[in-house]
Amino acid sequence: MAATWQFALFICMFLMESRGETPASDVTTMTITNLSNRTEVAPSSGPGNNSSEGSTSLAVVSWRWEHVSTPYLVALWVLVSWLCKFIIESLPSFVTNVIPESALLIAFGWILGGIIWAADLQQTFSLTPRVFFYFLLPQIILDAGYSMPNKLFFTNLGGILLYAILGTVWCAATLGLSLWGCQAGGAMGALDIGLLQYLLFGSLIAAVDPVAVLAVFEQVHVNEVLFIMVFGESLLNDGVTVVLFNVFDAFVKLGGPGINAVEIIKGIISFFIVAFGGSLVGLAFGLLVALLSKYTKNIQIIEPGFIFVLGYLSYLTADMLSLSAILSVTFCGVSSQKYLNSNMAESSVNTVRYVMKVFANGSETIIFVFLGISAIDKTIWVWNTGFILLTLLFILVYRFIGTFIQTWWLNQYRLVPIALIDQLIMSYGGLRGAVAYGLAAMLDDQRIKEKKLMIGTTLIVVYFTVILQGLTMKPFVTWLKVKRAAVAEVTLVEKVQNKVFEHSLVAIEDISGQIGDNYLRGKWKIFEEKWMSRFLLTSEARKKQDYIFNVFHQLNLKDAVGYVDEGERRGSLEFVRNESAFIDFKKKFGDEFSEVMPDIMAAASDDPDAMRRNPVSSVSLQMHEKTMQGMRETEDIDAHHLLQQHLYKGRKQHLHRYSRNHFDINTDDNEVQEIFQRTMRNRLESFKSAKMGLAPAKTITKHTKKDQQQKMPNGKSTDTSKNYYANNEGFEFSEGASGLEASGGSFPFRVNYRAGAGIENPTFMPDQDPMAPTQIPPWQAEDEPDGSTVSPSQRAQVRLPWTPTNLRRLAPLRISNQSTDSFAQADTPASQEKDKKWPPPPPPPSDK
């Protein structure tokens, strides 16, 4: 679904773009339109004639290329770019491990460019500033802001701002001045560029590109402080660069003599207003999205769309007000993420995350490929060795110098200073990318005669940094033994402890009477809890927003997945019944039950290593048991949903896709009808059978279990185990209860199943026999349409997860379905007539 969205949106975007541009018919317009003009020639001579003649008679089918040419070509190019990525991903891993993806994409761009050039279509493809800044960049920045690790970001905000603002100005100024000096010294031949133009060039080339940086650093896994420093800097620095560029551009327009002290001061003021104004606009939009998400419960389907639309609007609004659009969309993402994630339904949260990645990754790919293709534009290649080499040299040198000076200053105030090695990597990580190129393409060639040289140089700088520095980054990091990021294995103890640390730091600052970071953070927390959360979060979300609680939830989810995965690995969830579960039980109740449950104990001790080999599953089971005891009423925050979703699945898969508005599973009338009929019939059956003296259908409620126990004095082993379950409050199981117990159902059913399979008392056979096929555990019964027990969970990963509301609604129906299902199948002819599509259940596997 996400991919379709992305695709459709892209097409819309480009369509809008081409419409807006056509009247202007600029030279630098989206070049795809050029191509479309070119290709139109061919069809008009051929089938195109049909349509002209068709004015008199009706044409059955007509060739209407010109109607679709623009979106068609756009879509094609998107496809081609993505195929490049696809090819790259399928390259052998030793290539992709060594060469960063961005570099490979650029290389592919070259190849594509070469093909186009060979086909004599040169000069038609290039990344125009308009396409880049309005259709490719926003989603990347939005994604970066939205997935920003907020705490880390704000903890290091001081440093990031320092690098982003001062560092950028430093780089722009030194580069401009040095190049100018070199020109005056005669290092560049007959070049004649004014100081202002050099400064303008310096400002555009100072943009460290978040796309390139992310692409490289994500593969390297450096420690988080270093990462956030480089990444945060590159993100904010884009905004700063654009602002700086605009200021210098205005200066260039004014011309040398027009600039006096007043203008310079105005420039500086506008720099800050543009930067901070943009951030504020973003903040406002972010809070707006957050507020909106509080009320979108009823339109869950388009709920995830708001952040995209409003994020884009914040970008455009800031741009309209001539504020920094990049900073705006960054802060829109940063400020809204927390509230969105807690307000929206879990499926929407996943959708947003996923679609965000699709957008960002998609346009990132396109950008890099097109950066490569841009190289075929022959007109930009004005070679000036001095200019190009000096630019490369100065960029590198001044970045190092700037970083070292700033870090030295910063370290005076930092609690944990930034290590020398980290500084090296930080300097070396100054990759330039598409932003610089986009800005260079925006240069006004009326005023800047050497625009082409500048574009060419920018491209070379981009290639040089992305490919060469990107390539050497990983060996560098390994060689310098840069502290890597620890493998992020969240544990609850750790998270609890982190919280304790936080609080104690605040307390100690209070006691020692200083106003430090922690003090401010504490204040902010209180403020946020008091005001922001109240206005921006739904009441349920506020309930769940506690950090520790979230981690707990995540861990439970992970356990559940691990538990199911483990089951899949072994071919079924059989192991739950045979091994770890009973090992757990053995541990706890072994003493009491070892004599009454000999077979179970034997089964458990068959594989004593199982638990040690699979600590996850055993822990999860323990948790499972505990949570069942503790959290029966609050089932919606529990991992059991996931379990249930993985376990009970079946024929509903395909149905929901028909609905555009709902994911509700039971919207389909036939299905509801069917379930209803089945349930009713089964109830009738069970009623009948109970009357006839068979064991009652609903063996799973506490009371009936006890009844049953009395009825079956012979089945000693099963009785005691049942007794155990019945006595354990956690396994109380009643019809009509909510989703939690549905998954818990595996426990009683297991017992049932054992009762069926493990019959040892021949005298009991006649009674039990008709029930034997009924002892199919629900997961198997449900899985049968798929022909395997494994596939549903795999599909579950593909599907959108169900929302808790759905589950709760669904659960009673399902339970009643399951609990009586067996009887329907016992009554073989009737049920098989009814459910022809269901193959008969296989006999229960014997575990002896």
Partner 1 sequence: MGSKSSSLNKIPNAQELMQETGFSAAHILRLYERFEFLDVDQMGELRPEDFGAIRELSMNPIGDRIISAFFSPGKETVDFASFVRILAHFRSTETNRTRDGAQPEPANSRTRKLKFAFQLYDQDRDGKISREELLQVLRTMMEMQVTEEQLQSIAERAIQEADLDQDDAISFDEFRKSMEKVDIDHKMSIRFLS
Q: Which positions touch partner 1 (CB under 8 A)? A: 413, 415-417, 486-487, 489, 491-494, 496-501, 503-514, 516-519, 522, 526, 542-543, 545-546, 548-549, 552, 555, 619, 622-623, 626-627, 629-634, 637
Cα(524)–Cα(547) distance, integer angstroms: 16
Cα(668)–Cα(658) distance, integer angstroms: 9
Smallest distance from partner 1 to CB 748, Å: 21
Cα(332)–Cα(281) distance, integer angstroms: 8
Q: In this complex, which beta carbon is closest to partner 1, that of residue 41 or of residue 493? A: 493
Smallest distance from partner 1 to CB 781, Å: 30
Q: In this complex, which beta carbon is closest to partner 1, that of residue 543 or of residue 613? A: 543
Q: In this complex, which beta carbon is closest to partner 1, that of residue 184 or of residue 548? A: 548
> Which residues have CB under 8 Å from 591's CB, separation 6+?
none
Smallest distance from partner 1 to CB 623, Å: 6
Q: In this complex, which beta carbon is closest to partner 1, that of residue 37 or of residue 498? A: 498
Q: In this complex, which beta carbon is closest to partner 1, that of residue 79 or of residue 548? A: 548
* Tally of CB atoms within 10 A around 27: 8
Q: In this complex, which beta carbon is closest to partner 1, that of residue 62 or of residue 634? A: 634
Q: Say how far residue 137 (Cα) sits from the centre of its chain.
A: 18
Q: In this complex, which beta carbon is closest to partner 1, that of residue 634 or of residue 791? A: 634
Compute the C-alpha angle 716/717/723, nearest 5°: 85
DSSP conformation letters of 181-215: HHHHTTTTTT----HHHHHHHHHHHT-B-HHHHHH
Q: In this complex, which beta carbon is closest to partner 1, that of residue 313 or of residue 623? A: 623
Smallest distance from partner 1 to CB 493, Å: 5
| Adjacent-strand bridge partners of 208 | 432
In 3D space, the residue among 363, 380, 396 whose CA is nearest the CA of residue 458 turns out to be 380
Smallest distance from partner 1 to CB 618, Å: 10
Q: In this complex, which beta carbon is closest to partner 1, that of residue 416 or of residue 692? A: 416
Smallest distance from partner 1 to CB 172, Å: 32
Smallest distance from partner 1 to CB 619, Å: 6
Cα(804)–Cα(84) distance, integer angstroms: 39
In 3D space, the residue among 708, 722, 795, 779 whose CA is nearest the CA of residue 745 turns out to be 779
Query: From its phi and psi, is residue 547 left (phi > 0), alpha (psi between -120 and 50) or beta?
Result: alpha
Smallest distance from partner 1 to CB 553, Å: 10
Cα(581)–Cα(601) distance, integer angstroms: 11
Smallest distance from partner 1 to CB 225, Å: 8
Q: In this complex, which beta carbon is closest to partner 1, that of residue 209 or of residue 509? A: 509
3-state secondary structure of 432: strand
Cα(238)–Cα(169) distance, integer angstroms: 12
Smallest distance from partner 1 to CB 548, Å: 6
* Tally of CB atoms within 10 A around 340: 27
Buried b or exposed e, range 391-420, using 16+ CB within 10 angstroms? bbebbbebbbebbeebbeebeeeeeeebbe
